[in-house]
Amino acid sequence: MKEIIRESLDKSISYSEYLDVINTQVANNDTSGENKSEDLVAYTKLNAKRMKRWDKTLKVSEEAKAKIEKLDKKVTWLVLTETWCGDAAHVLPVINKVAEASENISLGLVFRDENEALMNQFLTNGGKSIPKLIMIEETSGEVFGSFGPRPKEATQLVLDYKEKHGAITAELKENLQVWYNKDKGQSTVNDLVALLTKELQFA
């Protein structure tokens, strides 16, 4: 496991580099991953706009910042993602904002389809769901937690819908979009802070 993580970390890029990648893809009608369908190219364009908006408007509460600042261990956050992923467009900007709130959090991003061995270690109910954040204690190299693909409340929304309707539909995607916009990233912030404080026992 440590070797797999190390190999992926060596390929990781920063959040700003990821934004450069997605903006270049938008300009070239391209997307990441093995599937270059028109739909995924269109999603990538939409996601670039969403991320730009979140980067401008997203706020981390003073209470959450105070907890994050108490982190006294060096940790690495490694995120599996793809530029076409709708959930990633809403979640990655939050992950970045939380990481920026602590000098002890290093953030790196890698593409799922280029890191299959790592993805297979962090499946969600047997699926390669993204974004997937892997939390690593820097000194030991041990994984102490993971998050994703969605905050708990959004995950429950999806589960309830699938139980009632049997599948993910356009209506669910629209409902999820509305939920993310209303939530303003706060559920993701709270889930990340709770996971950090629980696993590393600080704050």
Can you tell me the distance from the alpha carbon of 9 to that of 95, in angstroms, rounded to the nearest whole number?
17
The residues pairing with 13 across neighbouring beta strands, listed in sequence order, are 109
CA 81, chain centre distance (Å): 7
Task: Write down the pLDDT at residue 202.
Answer: 63
- pLDDT, residue 166, reads 86
Residue 135: beta bridge partners?
Answer: 77, 145
The tokens for 65 are: 């910042």
Q: Which residues contact 195 (CB under 8 A, 6 or more apart)?
A: 135, 145, 147
Spatial strand order in the sheet of 143-147: 105-111, 75-81, 132-137, 143-147
Q: Please, are residues 144 and 76 in contact by the beta-carbon 8 Å criterion? A: no
2-200 falls under which CATH superfamily?
Answer: Glutaredoxin (3.40.30.10)
Each residue's pLDDT expressed in tens, for the chain with a length of 203 residues: 999 999 999 999 999 999 999 999 999 999 999 999 999 999 999 999 999 999 999 999 999 999 999 999 999 999 999 999 999 999 999 999 999 999 999 999 999 999 999 999 999 999 999 999 999 999 999 999 999 999 999 999 999 999 999 888 989 999 999 999 999 999 999 999 999 988 777 65
**Beta strand segments in the chain, E:** 75-81, 105-111, 132-137, 143-147
H or E segment to which residue 202 belongs:
none
157 Cβ contact list (under 8 Å, min separation 6) = 175, 176, 179
Q: What is the DSSP string of 44-99?
A: HHHHHHHHHHHHHH----HHHHHHHTT--S-EEEEEEE-TT-HHHHHHHHHHHHHH
